[in-house]
Amino acid sequence: MRLQGAVIGLLLVVVQAHTLRAQVDVAASIAGARAQLDQFNPDSASALLERALTPNSGASKEQRVRAYVLYGIAQLSSKNVSAARLAFRQALQLNPSERVDSLEFLQPENLLTEFNSERLALAPAPEAPAAPAVAAPVPLTVQLALPADTTLPVADARLPIFLAPSRAARAAVAIASAAAPAAPLWADTLPLGATGAVGWDLRGRDGALVAPGRYRVTATAVDSAGSAAPAVTRVVVISRAPADTQALPPPLPRSAFLPEFTSVSHRSASGLLVGVGLGAAVALLPSALGRPELNKGLGSDGTAYLVAGSVAIAGVIAFVAGGQERHPLPENVQKNAALRQQDAASRAAIVEANARARQNAPVRVQPEGGKP
């Protein structure tokens, strides 16, 4: 008996050790998966989480909820939306109050949208009001429920609209601009007797995304006998989130360009000789002609010499100044043209990226809560 008791005790110790080691491995796998998500390695994170979610892993309820949430995030990052939704649903089935608000920074952008859509899908339908104890038929009504303030991606926008007739009826919903309620932009209908959500893709009849503004959501219901429920209306405000755009750089300064011409000076020696020669001729001309009347008074005021000096100085100035010629610098012209082309291409790329960012900016939907 002692030997049998010792063997049983040893087996219990082994089982407990194995269980403890499995729990430690589960915690390590979850922590490792979180680290892989931080490093944008969704495939590695998925492999670790699949190990933690095996039936014999020994994971606790809290660990399984955490593993399912992280697995859904990894699948969203790998563009596997259906697998992500299934993981989120399994997490919410284990813990309906689970939230992922603190994990928004992990990416992708549609994390909250997909998780909250699964929460809405699992939410119990509102109970129909109890029928009064009278023989008269219960009046047909329809309930209309919209999600709280939410942000949706443009590429896969889907606003869930919950419809619940008070009894078997065909429920319908229509969307129109609050400024033109008689012209519906979108409509959908549930099968007769069905209760649930329809999804609006935030687009009009032309398939284009609706413009920011106020929109009226109208729910109606008609039963098989033709009785209609009073219409229920809500107003939502649609806006676009700010786009992450780049500022255009300032124009290139003149200092960024190389000189495209060079100036070359030409000095003429003939101009200098002509100027000096003319000056001497002016000074000697009266004497050379032998005209006394021309020489009269020259020695006293020096006019002839002043004129001669001026002519000679003009010749010297013409020699020093010379002529200026501009010669193009083809290499610099080519470099400046390449610089202008590169700047234009960079600006065009920024303009295109900004237009794309504005086009793909997320859409925000806020219920106004009142009738238009």
Q: What is the mean pLDDT of each run of 10 residues along the chain (372 residues)?
A: 47 44 74 85 86 84 88 85 86 85 67 81 68 67 89 84 91 93 90 88 88 93 91 91 84 89 69 55 51 50 53 56 77 91 92 83 82 44
Closest CA to 213 of 225, 204, 222: 204
Q: What was the pLDDT predicted at 100?
A: 77
Q: What was the pLDDT predicted at 213?
A: 93
Q: What was the pLDDT predicted at 371?
A: 45
Q: What was the pLDDT predicted at 286?
A: 53
Q: What was the pLDDT predicted at 278?
A: 52
Query: How many residues belong to the chain?
Result: 372
Query: CA–CA separation, 203 vs 210, rounded Å?
Result: 5
Look at the pTM and tell me if it is higher than 0.85: no
The answer to whether 151 and 360 have CB atoms below 8 angstroms apart is no
Fold annotation for 142-241+362-367: Immunoglobulin-like (2.60.40)
Fold annotation for 8-122: 1.25.40
Q: What was the pLDDT predicted at 236?
A: 92
Q: What was the pLDDT predicted at 14?
A: 40
Query: CA–CA separation, 321 vs 161, rounded Å?
Result: 88
Q: 119-128, pLDDT tens digit by residue?
A: 888 777 666 6
The answer to whether 372 and 181 have CB atoms below 8 angstroms apart is yes
Q: What was the pLDDT predicted at 7?
A: 41
Q: What was the pLDDT predicted at 313?
A: 62
The answer to whether 189 and 172 have CB atoms below 8 angstroms apart is yes
Q: 252-265, pLDDT tens digit by residue?
A: 998 888 998 888 77
Q: What was the pLDDT predicted at 12?
A: 42
Domain residue ranges in the chain: 8-122, 142-241+362-367, 254-357
